[in-house]
Each structure stands twice: as C-alpha cells, then as structure tokens.
Amino acid sequence: MNHIVIIGCGIIGATLAYELSLIEGLKITVIDKQPPAQEATGAALGVLMGIISHKVKGKAWRMRQTSIQRYETLIPELEAITNRKIPFNRQGILMLLPSPEVTTDDLPFWEKLRETRQNQGWELNILNKAQLEKMCPQVDVTGREYIGAIHSPQDRQLDPTAFTLALVKAAQHNGVDFKFGVSALGIKSTSNQENSSARELETTSGVITADTFIISAGLGSSPLTEQLNQKVDIRPVLGQAIHLRLSHPLGKTKFQPAITCNDTYVVPRRGDVYPATDYWVGATVEFTQDNGEVAADKELLETTLQSAIATCPELAKAEIIRTWSGLRPRPEGRPAPVIEKLPGYDNVILASAHYRNGVLLAPATAEMVKEMVLEGNG
C-alpha cells in the first residue's frame, strides 16, 4: 500500500487528506505540531472570491472555477459524513464601487467581465446606486458616493475553522491517521544520478517511512525544503480582523452577502442562519519590517474598522467580541500559490504559500496534488 505523509494540517493539508482518502490503496498520515486550523487558516475570513475575481483564463482562473464548483458538492458531502453543520453563506459577494476610486470609465471593464462570466456559465450582476440602496440598505449611499456595486451570487463564504475540522473528521472516518502535537524535524533522502527520493521523515515522536511526502506547512514549509537543498522563500504577511456583535442584522434579514469595499470586508458570521447579528471585519495586510519581524499595528486595525463603519454605519453600535491576527504565507519573487514537485525529487510535493487565497484554492490544490500522486503511482 502506497504511504503518503502530509506535513501541515491547515485548510490545505486537511483538504489534501480528505480528497486523497477517497482514492483506494493509499495509506495517509498527517502530522502537525499544533491542532488543526491554526495559523493562517484560523485567522482567515473565508471569503471565496472566484467568479468576481479579475482572472478570466489560464491556471489562475481554472483553479478558482474548480474550487467554486467543488465547494458546492464538498460542503454537503462533509456534513453528511460528520453530521456537523458547516457555516456556508450562499448569499454571494457584494463588491461596492466607491467614487472617486471608481468612475463610470471603469464600468466597461465590469460589463466585459460579466459577459465573459456569462459565456463561462457564471453570473455577475452590475447594480446602479438605486439598486444597491434597495438591495442593501445597510450600505450608506448618502454619506459616501458610489457608482454602484457588483453582486456575484455564485461566490461563497465559509467558516474556515469549522470546514477544516469537518475535513479532519471525515478523513479520519476514511482511515487517515492524524498526529497532532508532532513536529517535523527533517526529511532523509537517497540519491541517484538523475533524481533524489525522500525516504524518511524524522519527527518528535519517531521516524515515519513513506513513499510520497507532501509539504503543506505554510510558513513552516521553507525550513523543510531548505533541508533538501531546495529552499522555497516564503514570508509572512500579517492580517488582523475583528468580530463584532449587533442586536439586529444589518439590512435585510434574509439577504446577508459578504460586502467588500476598498479591500475591507464585512462578513456575516453566520450568513446561512437567520437572523445573523455577528459580523467579521477585516483584514489588514501588514508586511515584514526591515528586521524581518512583523507585528500587529493597532492603528491599521482601527482604520479597517472605521472603513467598515463608513460603509455600514450601523456597525458603530456593535460590541467588539474579539480581535485576532494571523500570518499568511506569501512566496517571494513568484506567484502564489506554490504547487509543484520539489525540484530534484521524484516523491516530494510542495503545496503551500497560498498567501490570501488558501481557503479559496484549497479544493483546486487538492485536485492538482491528486493528479501528481496518481501520476507517481502509475
């Protein structure tokens, strides 16, 4: 039986574990030094900007389309196996078009994108100011000028932590062995003239021998690849967010889309449950300083909150339940994500550095890795 070891159990590692568990003849072990859904996954807002993205062709679009399609079947699939409800908002994404940042000269771009999406079998709606005000009365169209908005009804939002925990439970149901509280110390390999092969993973709980090693450890991926003399430079980008609670829903009780304006998001905490009165607001984008460190800037978080209040003034009355931050893994000098066989190795796969799109691209990543695994076993 082919033994696969997955290093890292954020949303990428957990999705890989579950999707690979559907293939007969594989033994799968997942290790992580922490419980599942920590680090970047635990900090993510879970907004799936696929259809509304500007990507229209090539790998970037194919991955988005694959993921959006798979989520529609994957969520009910996991709920049936685990008997757990996964918060999954099907109200879509509403992208506001504020003036003067957006002008009427920008509308032809959106009209062309709407036409492209229609030809691809997807829906985008362009709203004028009056339609926006009617659809989402929580948006202040008097205190701030808007050209209109884009509503993407087939994009989604989910709770990344709940989703990851469901993946773990479903994968366990399918026989996957998870080892939490276990750190990867290094990978031992053998070489021939053409290629190297990884053979053993040294961990804090002993040595694990396997046929294929998948590194999906986010920021923890770089040290492992460096030990194999193939360092992939992945750097942290910090993001902060806020959990707010109101005494009533924003706008219409039964229409609670994720709203975005100038890269600030107002996300219904349980947009699939009525009435939703909790909202996530985020997220900041904070790069490392000259010394390589990155620290949460409270002023940036306050600016993000005030931006959300400018969009939806009712949020000024909300109670702050908590604030949090996380580090996103961003590859240096190359596009995110990094999904490839590690150069020089025939059985080490890297699936990491998704930056701000880990939740969005998790199903597509699993599909790509699954093809590599099957190709290697063929």
Structure confidence by residue, pLDDT tens digits, 141-174: 988 899 999 999 999 999 999 999 999 999 999 9
Determine what percent of the chain is predicted with pLDDT higher than 90.
91
Domain boundaries defined on the chain: 2-85+159-233+332-377, 88-155+236-329
Determine what percent of the chain is predicted with pLDDT higher than 70.
98
Tens digit of each residue's pLDDT (9 = 90 or more) over 102-118:
999 999 999 999 999 99
Tens digit of each residue's pLDDT (9 = 90 or more) over 27-64:
999 999 999 999 899 999 999 999 999 999 999 999 99
Is residue 337 reached through a cis peptide bond, with omega within 30 degrees of 0 on the bond before it? yes
Residue 195 in contact with residue 344, Cβ under 8 Å? yes
Residue 238 in contact with residue 301, Cβ under 8 Å? no
Distance between CA atoms of residues 181 and 260, nearest Å = 37
Residue 30 in contact with residue 241, Cβ under 8 Å? no
pLDDT in the model for residue 378: 56
2-85+159-233+332-377 sits in which CATH class? alpha beta
Common-topology check for domains 2-85+159-233+332-377 and 88-155+236-329: no
Residue type at 261 in one-letter notation = C
Distance between CA atoms of residues 245 and 322, nearest Å = 10
Higher pLDDT, 231 or 90: 90
pTM over 0.85: yes
> The CATH number of 88-155+236-329 is which of 3.60.15.10, 3.40.50.700, 3.30.9.10, 3.20.20.70?
3.30.9.10
